[in-house]
Amino acid sequence: MNQTLCRRSGRNAMLPGTSTSATALDSATRDRTRVLLLFSLSGRLRPRDTALGALVDRYDYGRFASHLMTSQDVLPVPVLDEQVAPRRLRLPHGDHGLGLASLRILVVTTPRGDATLVVDCAFAGETTAGDLAAWLATTCFDRERIELDDRPLLTALTEHLGGRPLALGQNVHQLVFPGGRLQRELLSADEARKAILLNEIVYRGRMPWNPATPYDASLAPHLRNHGVTVSALGRGVSVQAGWAPHVENGLMLVAIGMISALAALQRTRLAAFATMKANEQALTDSPTEIRSLISRLSAGVNELQLDLAFGVEAYVDSLLIPEMVMEAFQSSLRDALGIRDSLENSARMVERLTSVISARSAALDAELAERDDRRDRTVSGLVAAATLIALPPTLLLAFFGVNGTNVDDHRSILDLRAYGTAYALAWLPFVILVLIGYVLLRRISTRSGSLLPAPDDDAVPVPPPRSPSGSRRP
């Protein structure tokens, strides 16, 4: 059944400029154009306990609320939510003739600390595709110059966040919900006119549309037309016409998750390269320092794996809002952003980093084991040598210490003519033992053969694979 025809009982909270029937539908008529600007923020902004509650409490999500209530621990958390007078927001190149009727600014952050700035705008009058495209271009490409109360926007927001410094990241997505005449034109225009309007908005007026040129799927916006709704999106702009407010809010939540996931992917990729460089540039011969390096690298890789799992994978599937409308938008936006391929590549990079660190740890353990073995052999050799050296003098001292008739008190113990036989009897057996040991060790070290068995050339060949019918291939 078409998702846009599903109904739910109850009353639907209204946003400015929207109207629906008494029974809440997924489609609705909007009088004013609404635009949501989503800007990723660099660095990490850890969630904290505030009186704002959960994000599901800040907007009306209609029939999607039950899904979100069970996933609150995964959802981004609002750390700032303010209604702002529209006149306080100033763009670097003016408002392009589009006055704001309402302005709401939020900062939300995921449990992993990936923050997103949300600017929720509704325009006061009618909007044209050309003016809207220029307004979107300004708020995207000159976003660092957006001001609030004659100060940079992030500088003004920093004070509300307790002095935490903020900086804009690389990722931007703008959700456009057309209203008034623009919505009616998008829903009722023929395909050629609709393509021109959507192309201008999605590409922010930077990609002229020529209907005479062949269709190029890589340039054309991804389009879905449900009759009473239109969805078109590119990498940076999505146009969603004809949806009810609770659907718009659900789409906003999906887009926030995708922008956060993309920011986490980029941070993970940079951290993976930094870990690789730290591994390559580490120069040390101290086992303690090497173990410390491996420990740091392993901790860094563990953080990368957590980022991929809970900062990316948690937001790229339809588990949060398992509904057809959300799934279609999420799938299209995920493909437009290229998150799936980037996630797979980053996961392989982290996996190989883990293998490299494990190999380095194994090499260190082998080197330490070999060093311990050499040390043990050296100590054993020294003990054996000391024993060999100490035993003959001990025997000689015992011989000279007895009151035997062969010992003359008037002769020196170094008189070899008198005591040569005693010296020979004391040293000769040990000299012979050393020679025998040396010969045996030489035989062991020079013995022919390999530590690994030679390959078996007489192994039975593997038969060729069989075809599905059971006959052998020629």
Q: What is the pLDDT of residue 18?
A: 58
Q: Which residues pair with 118 in a beta bridge?
A: 38, 106
> Is-contact 329 221, C-beta < 8 A?
no
Q: Which residues contact 149 (CB under 8 A, 6 or more apart)?
A: 88, 156
CA distance 60 to 71: 16
For the chain, how many residues are written?
474
The two beta strands, 168-177 and 237-241, are parallel
Give the Cβ contact number of residue 199 at 10 Å: 23
Crossing angle of helices 324-337 and 339-401, in 10° steps, is 70
Tokens encoding 338: 């290229």
CA distance 37 to 32: 16
| Helical H segments across 338-460, by residue range | 339-401, 416-446
Domains of the chain, by residue range, sit at 34-244, 260-369
Q: Which residues contact 87 (CB under 8 A, 6 or more apart)?
A: none
> 86-116: b or e for each residue (b if 16 or more CB lie within 10 Å)?
eeebebeeebbebebbbbbbbbbbbebbbbb
Identity of residue 378:
T
Identity of residue 228:
V
> Is-contact 350 252, C-beta < 8 A?
no
Identity of residue 465:
P
Splitting the chain (474 residues) into consecutive groups of 10 residues, what average pLDDT does each group show?
A: 32 48 70 95 79 84 86 86 92 89 93 91 92 94 91 86 80 94 89 86 81 56 73 89 92 91 87 83 73 83 86 80 82 83 86 83 77 76 72 68 61 64 73 74 59 51 53 44
> Is-contact 315 258, C-beta < 8 A?
yes
CA distance 64 to 12: 12
Q: What is the pLDDT of residue 23?
A: 44
Q: If residue 116 lies in a helix (H) or strand (E), which one and from where to where?
A: strand 115-123
